[in-house]
Amino acid sequence: MAGLDAIDTAMLRVLQHHGRISNAELAEKVGLSASACSRRLDILEKSGVISGYQARLSHRALDYKIIAIVHISLSGQFAKTLSEFEAAVKLCPNVLVCYLMSGEYDYILRIAARDLEDYERIHRDWLSALPHVVKINSSFALREIIDRPNVGL
């Protein structure tokens, strides 16, 4: 966290839990004037420390009852192969997270599905159609223990 002082860190802590807080309230919580707080917030946003603001939606409330962890192996790790796969996987609306991995599998995905039939559709229409895929291994989450949107500061 090079370049961040105690006030920046305090601002980030508050924003992680209260992203809709007003500038005046944020300033009060961290002991700044509203204008100084606004300037610092602008710097944090422009520097990329704050990458955006969003609402956290409940998958369960939206009727997505299944979370699948999917391991994918490709035919190779050539730059063209990776970029073609990555461009295609970004189009699948049910993919919540996709990581390029070291180790046994090339990618790990976290996928939301309404039920097993919906996952079967996602597997058939999306995952199996991704370019260069040679192996798909799916596991289903039984219960969520932790889903942190941010690291602790």
* Regions of the chain where pLDDT drops below 70: 1-2
Query: What is the C-alpha separation between 127 and 70, in angstroms, rounded?
Result: 9
Task: Write down the pLDDT at residue 27.
Answer: 96
Tokens 């050539």 appear where? 78
Res 153: pLDDT: 77
Residue indicated by tokens 């710097």: 43
pLDDT at 1: 52
Supply the pLDDT for residue 2.
64
Please, what is the angle between helix 23-30 and helix 6-17, to 10°?
130
Residue 29 vs residues 3, 26, 113, 139: alpha-carbon distances, Å: 21, 5, 40, 43
pLDDT of residue 150: 81
